[in-house]
């Protein structure tokens, strides 16, 4: 089983970006934690980040072609990108949406996710642990569907 963890804009700045909201953990540290958890779960993990909408769309398409499940923190594109929504729907990937922060407790424009309707589920508000919880949930889902 292969999982692609896809990260959108500004997540490369984690650790020094609005630490009051996103915490002090860096994306490299989150990647290490995901790799460790993936090892425990017995799945292969690909971890990617981009600041560009079209590139994120390409990452989703590549996951689809690889038959991989997708764990996605689309960051601000969550709230704006029809192209990303269409990529998830069109490539028929099983995707779980994640966020570090509780987007529902923040500005109103963050309450809407354009990708949530085409994702299997959403995890938000647990800081870096949202990645681990989302990974566990995604693998659980994919294993359930396979057996
Ligand atoms: C975020 C929440 C988004 O609203 C924001 O644009 C981000 C990060 C999160 O992980 O909490 O960049 O996806």
Please state the rounded mean pLDDT for residues 12-28.
95
Q: What is the pLDDT of residue 145?
A: 62
The token pair at 128 is 């870096």
Mutate to test the pocket of ligand 1, among 10, 21, 76, 81 (most ligand atoms within 8 A of CB): 76
Q: Is 17 known to sit in a ligand binding site?
A: no
Q: Given ligand 1 and candidates 78, 80, 113, 129, which is best to mutate, with the most ligand atoms within 8 Å of its CB? A: 78
Q: What is the mean pLDDT of residues 23-51?
A: 98
48 is in an annotated binding site: no
Residue 8 CB neighbours (<10 A): 23
Q: pLDDT over 70 for what percent of the chain?
A: 98
Which fold, 2-146?
Rossmann fold (3.40.50)
Instruction: Evaluate if residue 23 carries a pLDDT over 60.
Output: yes
Distance from Cα 147 to the centre of ligand 1, integer Å: 34
Q: Choosing from 4, 22, 77, 131, which is the catalytic residue?
A: 22
Query: Strand 44-49 relative to strand 2-7: parallel, antiparallel, unpaired?
Result: parallel
Nearest residue by C-alpha to atom 9 in ligand 1 = 99
Q: Ligand 1 centre and the CA of 146: distance in Å?
A: 31
DSSP 3-43: EEEEE-TTGGGTTTSSHHHH-S--HHHHHHHHHHHHHHHT-
pTM for the model stands at 0.97
Domain ranges for the chain: 2-146
The C-alpha atoms of residue 15 and residue 89 are separated, in whole angstroms, by 32
With 90 as the cut, is the pLDDT of residue 138 above it?
Answer: yes
How far apart are alpha carbons 106 and 51 in whole angstroms?
A: 22
pLDDT in tens, 61-110: 999 999 999 999 999 999 999 999 999 999 999 999 999 999 999 999 99
């Amino acid at each position: 089983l292969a999982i692609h963890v896809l990260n959108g804009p500004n997540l490369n700045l984690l650790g020094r970006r609005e630490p009051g909201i996103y915490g002090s953990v860096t994306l490299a540290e989150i990647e290490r934690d995901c790799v460790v958890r993936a090892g425990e779960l017995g799945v292969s993990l690909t971890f990617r980040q981009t600041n560009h909408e079209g590139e994120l769309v390409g990452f989703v398409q590549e996951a689809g072609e690889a038959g991989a499940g997708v764990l996605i923190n689309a960051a601000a594109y969550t709230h704006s990108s029809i192209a990303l929504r269409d990529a998830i729907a069109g490539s028929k990937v099983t995707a779980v949406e994640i966020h570090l922060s509780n987007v529902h407790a923040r500005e109103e424009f963050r309450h809407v996710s354009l990708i949530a309707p085409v994702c299997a589920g959403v995890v938000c508000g647990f800081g870096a642990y949202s990645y681990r919880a989302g990974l566990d949930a995604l693998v659980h889902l994919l294993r359930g569907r396979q057996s």
